[in-house]
Structure formats: C-alpha cells, structure tokens
Amino acid sequence: MADPVFDQSSSNREASRGYAWWFSGNTFAQAADGDGRPPRQRTIIQHLVSHPGRLTIMYFIVLVVAATTMLLIPPSTPEGETTTFSTAMFTAVSALSTCGISIVNSTTHWTTFGQAVLLVSVQLGGIGVMTFASLITLAINHHMKSTQRLLTASELGTSKLSEIRGVLTVVIGTTMFIESVTFVALFPGLLKVNEGDWRKSLWESLFFAVMSYNNAGFTPDTAGLHVNSWGVGLPIMLSAFLGTLGFPVILNLLKCARGHVPPKRWSLHTKITLSVTFIIVAMSLTWFLLVEWDNPFLFKDADFNTRMRYAMVAAVMPRSSGFDLSWVPQVNEPTKVFMSVIMFIGGGSTSTAGGIRVTTFAVILLICKASFTGHKDINTFHHRIHTNVAMTAVSITSTCLLLVLVSSLSLMLVSGASLTNALFDSCSAFGLGGYTVGVAREDNPAALAILAATMVVGRLGPMTIAYSISRPRSLEAVRYPTEPIVVG
Amino acid sequence: MADPVFDQSSSNREASRGYAWWFSGNTFAQAADGDGRPPRQRTIIQHLVSHPGRLTIMYFIVLVVAATTMLLIPPSTPEGETTTFSTAMFTAVSALSTCGISIVNSTTHWTTFGQAVLLVSVQLGGIGVMTFASLITLAINHHMKSTQRLLTASELGTSKLSEIRGVLTVVIGTTMFIESVTFVALFPGLLKVNEGDWRKSLWESLFFAVMSYNNAGFTPDTAGLHVNSWGVGLPIMLSAFLGTLGFPVILNLLKCARGHVPPKRWSLHTKITLSVTFIIVAMSLTWFLLVEWDNPFLFKDADFNTRMRYAMVAAVMPRSSGFDLSWVPQVNEPTKVFMSVIMFIGGGSTSTAGGIRVTTFAVILLICKASFTGHKDINTFHHRIHTNVAMTAVSITSTCLLLVLVSSLSLMLVSGASLTNALFDSCSAFGLGGYTVGVAREDNPAALAILAATMVVGRLGPMTIAYSISRPRSLEAVRYPTEPIVVG
Ligand SMILES: [K+]
Ligand SMILES: [K+]
C-alpha cells in the first residue's frame, strides 16, 4: 500500500494540524456515537485500539515490567555478577525508550540471553513508537472522515483494523529492510575485526543492526571497534542517521524516489527535517574539529584518518544514537555543553530519536526569522506554518526546557554532580542520546530514578504534548479585547 | 502632567503593539515627508531626537568614553593602586548599564572621586534607559497621529520637543522622589551603624539611594552592612524592588492610587508584571529557605533572625540589584543555577533591571497555558495577548537564550571556568544582576570583554529587539498555502 498515513490528502492536512485529543479520548466510539446509534458491544482489542494514547502507555508499562523481570532472572546475568532491581529497571527503561544509557558494561554484565533481552526490548520499543505515532494520525483521519459523514460507524469498525494492519506492515517492513541491509553491510567488516569468528560476527552484526536503526546505543563490544574501522563504522553511522530522520521522511523520500519527484516537490516536513539535520551535523563536525582536535585524552597519538573518524562519529552519534561511550567523559567541558544542546534538539519527529525534534527547533527559528524581518506569516520553502503549529512548538520547547532544568537541578542535589555533568546526563536521558558522563551510577538509585523518569517523559512527552494540545482549537465563547503590554 | 506615554488611549494601544521600526528609522522626518512638503533644515538636536534608536546608542557610547576616561585619571585611584584600561572600561560599562559587577573592591580601589564617577554613571545610565524607552513609545504616538493626519508637520516639530521635556520631567521627577525618600529612610540606620559619623553616613545614604533604585549593585562598604540591619536593609530592598517594576507600572500605580482605582482596573501590563514578580520572589524565598538554610558557609552560627534577613535579601536582590557580593560564591551549586535562571528572567520592562523581562516570561507561560488548555487565544486577566506580542516574546527569549549560551561557552573556553560559574556570570551580565562568582577577573581581559559585550546587549538588546521587530507587520504580498509538519 502507498503510505496511508503521511499522504498529502486534505483530510490528512487537517489531521496533522490538529491531531489528537484522541490521545486520551475514545476516538472511534465518539465517532460512532455521533451517528446517534446505540453503542455496540466491543472486544477488548477494539476498545484499546480506539484509544491510541492509552494503548501506548499500556504497551510501554507491560514491556517495562516484562523486560525488568527478564533481566532479573538468573539466565541474564553471568555467575559472579548480581543485578539489582534498580539496575534491571533502569536498563529496561533505557532499552525500551531506545535511549541506551548503560550503567553496567553490556558485554560483561549480561549473558547472551541478557543481551538478547536488550535486543528484543530495543526492537519492540522502536517499532512501538513508530507505530503509535502513525496510529494516532490514523485515528484523526478516521475522525475527520466520520465527521464528514463519509463513513458509517460499521465501516469505521472494519476499516479500522485493516488500516492498522497496513500501518504495522509498513513500519515493520521498513524497519526490517533497513536493518537487514545494515546487517549484510556490517558482516564483512566485523568478520575481519573478529579474525574470522563468524558466530561472534553474526551476533554482533545483528546486535549493531538493531541498535543502530533504533538509535539505542548498547554495544556488544567494549573496545569501540566500530570507531576504529570504516567498514564497521560507516554502515552503523548511516543506519543510525536514517533512524533519526523519522518515518514520514523516509516514506516520503521512498515515494519520491519511486516517482522521480525532484527535491523541490518533497513534502515540507521532509525539507525542514533534512535541512535542519544537515545544519546540525555540519555544526557538530565543525565544533569537534575546532575544539577537540588537540584534545590529548581523546586523540593520543592518533593520525589524521583516525581523528577524522572520531570527529565524524562524534558529530553524528550524539544526536541520538549514543554508540561508544568510552570517549565521552574525556571531552572538554564546553563540548559537553554543546553536546547537551544537540541532544536536547534531538532527531526527527516520530523517529526512534528523541529530543524536542528538529522540526520543533526549526519552527522556533522560523518564528524568530519572521519577527526579525517584520513578517506576519511564518514562511519557509514557499509555505506558511500554521499558527497552531507554531504555538505547539513553543509549548513543547518551553516545557521540555523546564523538564531538563528540573531534572538537572534534582541530579545536582541528589548526586552532587557538577552542572555540566548533570545537564549532560539529563539531556542525554531526555533526548534519548544514550551517553553518560557518570551521573547515572549503579550505586545512586535516586539519580537512576530521576533519569529513568526523564527518559520516559523524553520518549512519550513531546509526542503526548503535541498530540494532546494540537487539537483543532475551539472558537472562544468570549473573545476578550487585546490590551498592549510591553515585552523586552 | 498626567503620564503622556503610558496612557490607555487607542493610539497608544496601537503603538505599544507595534512600536518602532523607528528605532532605526527617521520617524518624524518620515511623518513630515508624508505630507508632501519639502524637508526643512533641521538642527542637530532635532535630527538626533527624530532617531531615538541612534540617540540611545550615541548616548551610551559618549558616556562610556567619558566614564572610562574619568576612572583612568589619577584622582579616581588612591596612591598605591593602579587602574588598567580594561578594568576602567569594564567598570564604566558595568555602571552605565546599571549592572554593577565589580572586579575591584569599590571601597578600597576607588577614591571618593572615583566613587562619585560611579554614582553619576549609574544615575545617568538609569535615567537614560527609562527616558529612551519612553521616547520611543512617544515617537510611535507621533507617527500614529501624523498618519491619521491629526497633526501637520509643523505641529510635529513643536510638540515633539515639549513632549520630550514632559517625559524627561516625569522620569527624573519620579527617580528623584524615590531616591530622596530612600535617602531619608536610610540615614538614621546608617548613622547608627557608623556610630554617629554623619559625613560618612550622608555619603553612604546618597550612594545606596542611587544604587538601589537604579539597581546597580556597587557598595561603598565592604562588610555588607545593609544585610546586618533591618534599618539599612529594608529601605534598600524596597527601593530596589520599586526599581525593578519599571516606569509604566509605577506611573500606572500612582495614577490609580490618586484616582482610587481598584486593582481590578489596573492596566494589564501592571497586573502581569506584579503577579509574575510576586511569584518569582516567593519562589526565590522558598528556594533559599529550603536549600540554603543549613549552608554552613552562608550562615555560620547565625540566629533565626539573621537567616531570615539573608534569605530575604537573597530572594529579592539577585533579580537585578546585586548588592552584597560577599555571600554569593558560597552558595550551593544548584542555587547558582537557580539564581542564573532568575537573573535571566530579570525585572520589569523599561525598568533599570535587565533580563528578558517578566512580561516576556509571562507571555511564554501564557502561550503554553493556551496550548495545553486547547485555546486559540492567549488570554489572561480577561484580555487577549496579541499574536504579534506573543511572537515578539518568543523571539526575545530564543535570541537571549542563544546569547547567554554563546557567552557561557566563550567564557568556559577563555577562562576554563565551570559551566555553573560561566552561566552565572553570563546571566548576571545579561540580566544586569551584578553578582559574580569569579569568572570576571581583572587578570582576564578576554573574559571581561565577553562580559562587557553581554552587558551591553543585555542593556539594549531585548529593548532593541522588541522595538525593531514589533513594528506593525505588513500584509504579505504573497500569502503561501500552509502545509502540515509534525512537531514533537
Ligand atoms: K539513543
Ligand atoms: K544590577
């Protein structure tokens, strides 16, 4: 099927402007009730599916409980190691939110079974996020159609489940495809690094393939081997980069590639996401080349080639993927702050990346541009950004900034960490970056709890905020007069 | 005269919504040219007055040069001390922007003459800011009237200078009145502290009176004596508090007090400023009581009374006044971050305080509230905030956040300071708070230059941004179609 969710039909246009008080409401039931018929008996599945918001929360709660349990049982931990409840819970949340902050060494603390639990958790977490974002958009489509009386309640009931199957097919299909390509691309390089050990190489290829597209930074190796070889590093980097773009962009690009559509006619969302992503990666690369080039802790005795590889990894990865933790605590203090900002901005909407999302950031910049150039409309690429979208972007940014601030201050209070480190770990948890500079520690359950909460909000927060507040605004019962106030 | 600038007339209502591309434009000349008459010969004064924006910049440049020179000449520095150029320049900028960051001990490094230079600089800086903000509003009024053809060009020429005289009278009158009351209130307390030395007490009263209303934190004493006595501390605190409210609020309150107008009918600007100010002060007090109550560096062996006095000073002062530097470096790290945020928000618009201003912060909060409650209009106190004002607030906040970030990162790079300290000093310079935790140091001219630049932007920036971008937006020549994008 052609992507049903992100097409440019007019109902969809309405939808993504005002998608989802459904997040908490009973979407389909309301639509059916609107026809004045008595509500029918519904199955539990139908009941859950009509509340994509509740379904998302249910899904993550069930999976966190399951993954924590699996990590706590003996097969997950090798003999001689013990896993505390807070470690298991934190790791489960970290994997399911595809954040990937590790407080134990993933290679030595977990058995292959334990690593498989992480792998499955990350995969289910990633697919979950992409599916639910799509489902919610779908729910709005239904509402739009039903309010236009194009569908009867019974049609709603049947088309609903089939469309959901369609979305799931597209999400899982794309994921599997990209992960398979990454797997195949990684194998030769890993086989070389592992000196012909094909069993180990197969497992590591699978692990890296899943971790990279889902942007979770768990690694099955301790040496950061992917940084030391282009053959391993490049497929991981590309896959992680695709993962940060988000589902609508990938689908739009695929569709445009099939139809030989020129870049000029890509969707506005694609254009904005790609250009901001490009700018951020270029800025990161420049920063690392300028500020970290002579860092002796980072590049001791390294040649030009190795330095470039490190700088490229450092530019692409922190946005969301969080691979190779080893070098992070050794960067300069200003670089930590810079990385925090990059992680806070995060990746593309409805992707496995986190943060406020690049589109949100872009809208804030566009508001400034419009103001400074004296324009009333917020224009970009010959299109106007709707005021509701602008207000939503401001709300998401302000709320998330407040969240990161509160989280950082709390971490400083409970762990005595410096602001740089507390901010870094907060942004890493919120933006699902996956790096840590040591504030997340096994022996500090309070800090772990704060970071786990930040991760959950980082995973569901901006999405929830966007969905719940970008509902089509009602006309005001009373419209108040304006009165000028002086700002600035 | 009744306040001509901040009345609620309809032209003014228009004005403060769209006040000032005049900041760089030739307001009055344009208005006159609009009548199609040939431009007349104008005096230099008339020429400058028609460009309030340029006039502001000229005023500050001339004063910075003059004050730097005065501080460099021998009478300013006692024998045995030397004043470097960077110290003199930084102190001049600090005084004229009413920021008040000191890098030398004001008591021992400067002679009475040097202190008098500081006093006059602060006074001229404070009056300058309040006058120019009013002048610009006035210029818009003129433009509004002239575009409505209510005034001819010659009427413009005559009424202009007389109205400017009116504004100056009100600004200087209010300032002198409040400073005199503070002076009288301070004298008995200081006489007691100084054990009957009335000469010293007179000088200190004058110094404190000017410094407190203008929110500059230079002190003529080293012991922080005003914290140790309610008789000295309370008048300073009240005067500094009045200084942070801003001219429109004080005038509106005076007018309402004369007319026995109930709080319900105060202007929207007054209501917003007062409520946000109250919330911020209450939050600061709570923070200090909770987090700093047991800080042994801050309150060694102090009784309840002293602790309360410190907490109150700490709650009111950091917003902008910056008195008594001694205790600041001893607070907890999280408190430094909290204070940075408070300084970033700053005081009231067109006051001697800095920051993004409380009204700007309030508008951001109101945007979030409107979004979360699903309203299209940004309402508060039964009034609607105009979309232009909202966009201006977003632009000011984003730009200033970026400025503080760049300033902090630069300070970290040139001085090796921690993020907490760099952020604190940046926010203090931008928000004209006047405290320092040691990043501003005599022996680091690069850090001083960064901080001085931040102060200048902090003084003129938000005002300039607001004035230059909140001009009435032109209707777009081409109105582009909207296309949905996914944010969050
Ligand atoms: K991650
Ligand atoms: K100050």
Give A344's contacts in chain B (Cβ within 8 Å).
none
> CA B21, CA A400: separation in Å to the nearest integer?
33
Strand bridging mode B383-385 / A378-380: unpaired
Query: What is the crossing angle of helices B268-291 and B230-245, to 10°?
Result: 140
Give the residue from A170, A254, A169, A178 showing the smallest Cα distance to A212: A178
> Nearest CA to B323 among B213, B427, B412, B249?
B213
Share of chain A above pLDDT 70, in %: 71
- What Rg do the C-alpha atoms of chain B give, in angstroms? 23
Please state, rounded to an integer, the average pLDDT across all residues of chain A.
74
Residue A12 pLDDT grade (very low, low, confident, very high; cuts 50, 70, 90)? very low
In the structure, what pLDDT confidence band is assigned to residue A44 with cuts at 50, 70 and 90? low
Q: Provide DSSP, A157-171.
A: HHHHHHHHHHHHHHH
* Residue A469 Cα to chain centre, angstroms: 19
Q: Which of A350, A465, A469 sits opposite B374 (nearest CB)?
A: A469
pLDDT score of A405 more than 90? yes
Q: B425: distance to nearest CA of chain A, Å?
A: 14
Nearest ligand to the CA of B430 is: 2
Task: Specify the pLDDT at position A476.
Answer: 55
Cα B381 from Cα A99, distance rounded (Å): 42
Q: Considering only A268-272, A276-280, A385-389, B272-276, which range has the smallest mean pLDDT? A: A385-389
Which of A86-95, A151-160, A461-470 tops mean pLDDT? A86-95
Per-domain boundaries in chain B? 10-469
Does position A14 have pLDDT exceeding 50, yes or no?
no
- Distance CA(B107)–CA(B204), nearest Å, equals 11
Q: How far is A121 from chain B (nearest CA, A)?
A: 23
Give the tens place of pLDDT for each residue, B79-117.
877 888 888 888 888 888 888 777 787 777 888 888 888
Tell me what pLDDT residue B407 has: 92
Alpha-carbon span B53 to A370, nearest angstrom: 21
Q: A473 contacts in B (CB within 8 Å)?
A: 374-376
What pLDDT does residue A408 have? Answer: 92
Look at residue A464 and tell me whether its pLDDT is greater than 70: no
User: Is B487 in Cβ contact with A360 (below 8 Å)?
Assistant: yes
Contact B462, B400 (CB under 8 A): yes
What's the gap between Cα A87 and its chain centre?
A: 22
For residue A366, the distance in angstroms to the closest alpha carbon of chain B comes to: 9
**CA A449–ligand 1 middle distance (angstroms):** 18
Render pLDDT for A410-419 as a digit per residue (tens, 0 to 9): 998 888 888 8
The pLDDT assigned to B34 comes to 41
* pLDDT tens figures, B283-310: 888 888 888 777 766 666 667 777 777 7
Q: How confident is the model at residue B405 (pLDDT cuts 50, 70, 90)?
A: very high
With CB atoms and an 8 Å threshold, state whether B395 touches A368: yes
Name the average pLDDT for chain B. 74
pLDDT of the residue at B231: 76
Residue of A nearest to B13 (CA): A484
Out of A31-35, A208-212, A431-435, A465-469, the most confident range is A208-212
What does the block give as tokens for A459? 């995973």
Which tokens hold the place of B230?
């309610």
One DSSP character per residue, B438-458 reads: SSS-TT-HHHHHHHHHHHHHH
- Quote the CA–CA distance of B328 and B427 in Å, as a whole number: 14
CB contact (8 A) between residue A367 and residue B479: no
- Which residues crowd ion ligand 1, with CB under 5 Å? A 100, 215, 217, 322, 432, 434
Please give the pLDDT value at position B406.
92
Given this model, what pLDDT does residue B401 score? 92
CA distance A272 to A266: 10
Query: Using the 8-state DSSP alphabet, how is residue A207 labeled?
Result: H
Which among B371, B469, B481 is the nearest to A383, CB-wise?
B481
Contact B478, B446 (CB under 8 A): no
* N-term to C-term CA, chain A: 52
Residue B360 and residue A481: Cβ atoms within 8 Å? no
Say if CB A280 and CB A341 are below 8 A apart. Answer: no
pLDDT (mean) for B171-192: 86
Which residues, in sequence order, are CB contacts of A41 under 8 Å at separation 6+? none
The residue-averaged pLDDT of B406-414 equals 90
- Confidence band of A437 (pLDDT split at 50, 70, 90): confident
Our CA dihedral for A137, A142, A145, A147, rounded to 10 degrees, sits at: -110
Give residue-wise pLDDT tens across range A253-285: 888 888 888 888 888 888 888 999 989 988 888
Rounded to the nearest angstrom, the distance between the alpha carbon of B107 and the centre of ligand 2 is 18
pLDDT (tens digit per residue) in A283-322? 888 888 888 777 766 666 667 777 777 777 777 776 766 6
Chain A hits for B481, Cβ within 8 Å: 383-384
Instruction: Mark yes or no for CB contact A349/B487 under 8 Å.
Output: yes
Distance CA A336, CA B409 (A): 10
- Taking CB atoms and an 8 Å limit, are B269 and A485 in contact across chains? yes
User: DSSP labels for A13-48?
Assistant: HHHHHS--STTTS-HHHHHHHTTTPPPPP--HHHHH
**Which residues of chain B make contact with A21, given a CB cutoff of 8 A?**
374
| Residue-level pLDDT at B348 | 83
What number of C-beta contacts closer than 8 Å exist between A and B? Answer: 263
CA nearest to A411 within chain B: B334
More confident residue, A260 or A51: A260
Q: Do A374 and B473 touch (CB under 8 A)?
A: yes
The span from the CA of B342 to the CA of B355, in Å, is 9
- Determine whether the interchain pair A385/B485 forms a contact, defined as Cβ–Cβ distance below 8 Å: yes
